[in-house]
Chains A and B, each alone.
Chain A
Amino acid sequence: MSRHLISIDDLDRAGIERILDLARSFAEVSGREIKKVPALKGRTIVNLFYEASTRTSSSFELAAKRLSADVVNIRSAGSSVDKGESLKDTVRTLSAYDPAAIVIRSPWAGAAQQITGWTDAAVVNAGDGKHEHPTQALLDVFTLTQALGGLEGLRIWIVGDVLHSRVARSNILAFQRMGATVTVCGPPTLIPRGIESLGCAAQDTLANLGEADVVYVLRLQQERMQEAYVPTLREYAQRYQVNRARLREGQIVMHPGPVNRGVELSGEVIDSDAALIDAQVKSGVAVRMAVLYELLVGAPVLQVVA
């Protein structure tokens, strides 16, 4: 594995499996009463979040703390970023604290890659624009592996606003790398031209949803209507909502959160046993512990330094 985690493309199948193995042991730690291990004691991790985030930022924070790292959380609101400081200057300032890792969430594609040139810290991409969200994909693979034993041969449908989804892009890559076949489905306005070049199939309707073993539902942002991607939430829900009537027995449903209950997913599905949504959130901490451990301890070069 490279020194940073920017894209799922940084990982081959063996790399993903190594993180899954690590995550399994950290999940076990998370089940103990004392949920902390000393792996990163004395090292600093900076969480640099330029976008509001609940799930990702809290789970990265918890993951770092459970590895005994010192954690600094920077959010754009109220920080020097708000005062017009450039990304480069912010990263250089924070790097003066000699952090072992910088976890960055940015509204701009490529930001995580870009800051690797400005810091000695390992960089973890916690979402860059609509580009990628690799730790989400890893926790989704982990969750599916825990539930089903593996992804080999699975047929996975990713349903919804693929155009604006970094989760979709990372998951298409990760699911395929682990042996699944992926179909994306959504209104033609929200399926990017050329997406098939990633190796997935594309469908305009849910007519063949029955073939899916796993249905991965994406969030529909409310503002997509103003931009005329969809006429109304009602029409979207009529055509693309994943609900009990559209699911068959045995299909698994996932969602990266936060869910618009009653829009892309019906309430009864969210609350049913078919949904792995809570398991996904729970996996988040263990998988992010695994990623930080792999980057900061697992890599031989850094082991010498540590």
Chain B
Amino acid sequence: MAETRLHRRPARPAELLIRGAHVLDPRTGIDAPHDVLIRAGTIAELGAPGTLSGSSETPTTEAAGRHLFPAFVDPHVHLRTPGQEYKESVETGTAAAAAGGFCQVIAMPNTAPTVDQVSVLDALIGIAREQAVVPTGFLAAITVGLQGRELTEMAALAEAGALGFTDDGRPLVSAGMLRRALQYQRLAGGVIALHEEDPALSGDGVMHEGAVSARLGVAGIPSISESTYVARDAAIARHEDARVHFQHLSAAESVEALAAARAAGARVSGEATPHHLTLTDEDVRGLDSNLKMNPPLRAEADRRAVIEGLRSGVLECIATDHAPHATHEKEVPFEQAPMGTTGLETAFAAVYSGLVQPGVLPLALVVERMTAGGGLYGLPIPRIAVGEPANVVLVDLERDRVVGEGGYASRSQNCCFDGRRLSGVVELTVAAGSVVFASRDAGITTLTEVS
């Protein structure tokens, strides 16, 4: 039912036998090697390794030594359609998602024009039905043109398919406007997602304010520009008993404010990005514009707090904030470059290499947090169980890859992990029952070909 709020191009239901992969699904409690048979896009059978066989035509992958997870969900991507297709399109952005192991993505409305009226959303859904490689949902703007002055027709937008509302990329500066939006949400439904940043405090900052910005002489964005808005807006949400989601939290103080608000009973949630979980302002010393994003990479203590927030569940999901920009836009001095990094193709590998391999977070927890993002918006969470639609990703944890070496599926190359060697290579992605990504390494063959 909720699936109708996601859109993708027509795709053939998969027939596929995945043999001997180590299946890990923290929600169903599976954590052992299995054969998995997908028939007509549905998980038809789960069995001990070597016990399942399809028909002679069933494509098969010998997956012993690899891991099979529920495919990932990204509640925060920028697909740049409509209007900025030179950066990304629904097709290239969702191809990047497929290559990263995602089976669902949710796109932000800060496009040109903004997704702030039904006609724009309708057109976008039409494009997704022609182009989207993986099922894609859309948030609509809270205010017209993201200007923070007039509410959009939230009820009509929700009816037309908006999963929720956000002015992402910009904060909602007026507390009064936010309060109206939260009151109106009772009519419209949907989660309201917030990009938290007090512009009076962030000013013309371009990176985290701290020892590194002091050394580099570039204007800083203090942690309090985010955390004071989290505290303010959580208080308003609590007062209105409204459902609010805080996007891409970066500062220790923000995690603290969110935890306090939840403890007090506010219905608020938060997300963490792979880059805030694994990189810090120390990485910005070389002024590489691919490491310029908003919110900025913060100090090591902030990174640790975000990790702890993710561990405890205060931050309930990982979201990439995939933000493509063209090379000519990023190939300028750091202070002039637009903010944003791509993230769909590197999300799992970055978190796996940065946090799981060193023993900071358990693999099962990372898989849980990378699949939780759609649940916020009421979407069904991918599970590996008989009868479920096939949403799975096959990953080789033993192999590594230098990011960017083989190019990107995204139209843009502005990845903050570019040039880094990361472990955890996605080989196969099945989304809503269809194979949406299969690298040569997946080695899919039909039995007839083998014999």
Q: Is B214 an interface residue (CB 8 A)?
A: yes
Of all chain A residues, the one with the shortest Cβ separation from B206 is: A109
With a cutoff of 8 Å between Cβ atoms, the chain A residues found around residue B227 in the complex are: none
Which of A113, A131, A169, A192: most chain B Cβ within 10 A? A192
Smallest CB separation, B210 vs chain A (Å):
5
CA gap between A88 and B329 in the complex, in Å: 11
Query: What residue of chain B has the Cβ atom nearest to residue A227's Cβ?
Result: B203
Mark each residue of chain B from 311 to 354: 1 if its CB lies under 8 Å from any CB of chain A, else 0. Answer: 00000000000000000100111111000000000000000000
A193 proximal to B (CB < 8 A): yes
Is the beta-carbon distance between B335 and A197 smaller than 8 angstroms?
A: no
Chain A residues near B214 (CB-CB < 8 A): 192-195, 197-198
- Cα-based distance from A129 to B332 in the complex (angstroms): 13
Give the contacting residue for A108; candidates B212, B331, B333; CB below 8 A. Answer: B333
**C-alpha spacing A113/B334, complex, angstroms:** 11
A-B contact count (CB 8 A): 69
Contact residues, B225-271 vs A (CB, 8 A)? none
B218–A197 touching, CB < 8 Å: no
- A86-B328, A113-B287, A193-B220 known; A108 vs B213 contact (CB < 8 Å): no
Task: State in angstroms the CA–CA spacing of A172 and B292 once bound together.
Answer: 26
Q: A195 CA to B334 CA in the complex, in Å?
A: 21
Cβ A169 vs Cβ B217 within 8 A:
yes
Counting CB contacts under 8 A, is B211 at the interface? yes
**Complex formed: what's the CA distance from A110 to B334 in Å?**
7
B44 to nearest A CB, angstroms? 54
Distance A193 CA – B212 CA, assembled complex (angstroms): 10
Chain B residue numbers with a CB within 8 Å of A195 are: 214
Q: Is A61 an interface residue (CB 8 A)?
A: no
Q: Scan residues 152-199 of chain A and give those whose CB is less than 8 A from a CB of chain B.
A: 164-166, 169, 192-195, 197-198
Q: Does B12 count as interface, using CB distance less than 8 angstroms?
A: no
Rounded to whole angstroms, the CA-CA distance of A211 and B215 in the bound complex is 25
User: Within 8 Å of chain B (Cβ to Cβ): is A260?
Assistant: no
Tell me whether B209 is interfacial, beta carbon within 8 Å: yes
Instruction: Indicate whether A87 reaches chain B with its CB closer than 8 angstroms.
Output: yes
A105-126 interface with B by 8 A CB criterion: 106, 108-111, 113-114
A95 → B minimal CB distance (Å): 16
Alpha-carbon separation in the docked complex, A132 to B210 (Å):
17
Report if A130 contacts B (CB, 8 A): yes
Chain B residues whose C-beta falls within 8 Å of the C-beta of A194 in the assembled complex: 209-215
Nearest-neighbor residue (CB-CB) of B281 within chain A: A194
Q: Given the complex, which residues of B lie within 8 Å of A129, measured CB to CB?
A: 217-218, 333, 335
- B175 contacts the other chain (CB 8 A): no
Q: Measured between alpha carbons, how far is A106 from B216 in the docked complex, in Å?
A: 14
Using Cβ atoms and an 8 Å threshold, which residues of chain A touch B216? Answer: 109-110, 131
Q: Are A109 and B210 interface neighbours, CB within 8 A? A: no
Question: Which residues B193-229 have CB closer than 8 A to chain A?
Answer: 209-218, 220, 222
Q: Would A108 and B217 be within 8 Å (CB), given that A86-B328, A113-B287 are in contact?
A: no
Contact call A198/B215, Cβ cutoff below 8 A: yes
User: Is A193 in contact with B328, judged by CB distance below 8 angstroms?
Assistant: no
Interfacial chain B residues near A164, Cβ < 8 Å: 217
Complex CA distance for A166 and B211, rounded to whole angstroms: 15
- Distance in angstroms from B290 CB to nearest chain A CB is 12
**A109 interface neighbour in B211, B217, B222, Cβ under 8 Å:** B217
A304 to B215, CA, bound (A): 36
* Cα–Cα distance between A195 and B335 once the two chains are bound (Å): 20
Could you say which residues of chain A place their CB within 8 Å of the CB of B212? Answer: 194
A164 to B203, CA, bound (A): 15
- Closest-by-CB residue of A relative to B222 is A193
- Bound-complex Cα distance A198 to B211 (A): 8
Determine the chain A residues whose CB is within 8 A of the CB of B331 once the complex forms: 86, 88
Q: Which of B209, B286, B328, B332 has the most CB of A within 10 A?
A: B332
Q: Which residues of B contact A108 (CB under 8 A)?
A: 332-336
Q: Which 8 residue pairs spanning A and B have beta carbons closest together?
A: A108-B333, A110-B287, A130-B217, A194-B211, A197-B211, A192-B214, A194-B214, A131-B217
